[in-house]
Structure 1
């Protein structure tokens, strides 16, 4: 059975927690208009930062569209692997294009790419912006949002016929890419797999919306069994479901299991996901603030104190009534954020100061 980071099982949503905290566990599944087997949307590029520009997809070539941002730790971690794949398959007609999206400060993109050097050994581009949308451009909308993908890094493989053959995490990309290049890939099997995952995800959302929490939990278990790559994210959904159900014991036990795994594997992304679940997702008002603070602290420490996780840690301190620490951290977030998002962060800081 094909393995992919399925449309609704968003394996790396912590990378965008400042942008989509309300969308990850939304009760209603987003409308999906781009699936595997569909013609690839066009490239909407504002500027080519590195490599040879690509105006359109050429038949006979395979393209990898890799979505990333400068502030995304998992994106940076995946770049050497993506570079290796470009080098390995270049002579076989594979073209990798790294497309920057969801960037809070566009002035950081070119210096970042230059600093990466050979760690980012493929074409790099900045997406065409959308008027009135400071962090979502044309590529993020026509590709990521259309496919129901809210986490980066995220890769799309466009086959020799211009069809979206695969989408998922770049670290899971080598096997399908090799098969697509060799002409042995089965897009129908992948499409059928994705459709099944999509249908189960829809059922889970509907059950959650109807407050049928036990049913939703069972469906999340089915999704984890169907696609083991998403087992972690399904457990995070279950933490939220247990909280909504009012089963604090089950929620706490599963949260402790996830936190232990994050500590053992030094997985800051998982710790951040857990903290966000307990602080912002449905049912979070019933979560244990101390656990949330422990998870947020671990995420912050493992991320080398990134601004993205700084905001999360400030929120955790505030939830625990430690507003002096929350104010100190949130002030740094405000100072590091550019307009128009700066105003939003200032409002959060003002709320902490009132408490």
Structure 2
């Protein structure tokens, strides 16, 4: 099985914290969709005939596309890859784009069966600081609108550790999220990425980062509140109702091949990786001339082992140790167990049923554990 990621780079406005590749050059949308479909056709052999199980439209803001745009992309996907085996088709969307008519179009006339909504917070003042286009009421109404239209699989994104974050404000966000009764919640700690307006605000002392103790409290509140509400903590930043994990994103963590199309999109064929240029104009011009601009990465055994540690250990399933031994050899298998030993002793890792997993205590220091388990050739 395999997945397809479609990058839609267009945004009405840029959020101050975002460092994903996006653009406000909406006048190029029609040329872009044609270029995107050309890439889908030209890369037919990349997935080696594997059935497509998931399709994910990410961005940017994919909900900036209209029905005609989506229809052209889906026609190409069906023609080139076939969607008969597709179980999950996700659209990332901004709440303010999800009008009654737009949601009805997505549900009734297109094959989307999952909505991933970027809410971030229910605090209106903070939404304005982040340069989000919606307010809390619009976000709540958008979830209800999707539900009434018939969507039975809705995910929302939250950000914690925002400037001036307090325990009370974060708990209010969590309680509101739980009240929406969505199937999936992703929650990420705010990072100040160099080159973003928010980073510049930090450097100018207009905002300040939360301290480490606060971050730990916020994460504890996240896991406790969602756990009590019946959500499964299946990946460090992701929670779902039983059986409702994101199948597409889980494929990244489990090493399943995927094709990524559009500027900055990454692809993985099970062995190597490649990624397209992070420029809308260069991408379009390259596709129009039949010369896609991209780079590739050779992954030796140690690199693939390190990726396995970094991705699999993030999930509730953990690292399948026998599979690790078979794929990366006895030396790296023993290395992993040796480096894991101190964490197994102090209860931050557990080895159960052949899987090496983080415990709740281990999740709090997961970056350090993953770093220690990674192999560095002397």
Q: TM-score, normalised by structure 1?
A: 0.29
Higher relative contact order (CA 8 A, sep 6+): 1
Q: TM-score, normalised by structure 2?
A: 0.27
Between structure 1 and structure 2, the one with the greater Rg is 2
Structure (1/2) with the larger helix percentage: 1
Structure (1/2) with the larger strand percentage: 2
